[in-house]
Amino acid sequence: MIVKLRNPSRDVEVEGPALVSVVLEKLEINRESVLVIRNGEIIPNDTRLEDDDVIEIRPVISGGAFGPDPREASPHVGSEVPEP
């Protein structure tokens, strides 16, 4: 099967059939740090991959929004606004 790795981008060939977990182990990739995608869908570790499959392995990216903490935006956030 063809495995498309990202960051850095490269293609490697892995003999199938094999479970996703086995392919990741062969490539020494930590499952917790990647998404495995086949035909546009994220697939779990117990998915059987065939020799003619093409999968993509992408690193997990996470983060938060930039900007001020909304709790600090107004002294009244999270409380009742006093009547004028």
Which domains occur in the chain, in start order? 2-59 (3.10.20.30)
Instruction: Express each pLDDT in 36-62 by its tens digit.
Output: 999 999 999 999 999 999 999 999 987
Task: Quote the pTM value.
Answer: 0.70
State mean pLDDT over 15-43: 95
Q: What is the mean pLDDT of the chain?
A: 85
For 50-65, letters b (16+ CB in 10 Å) and e give eeebebbbeeeeeeee
State mean pLDDT over 9-13: 95
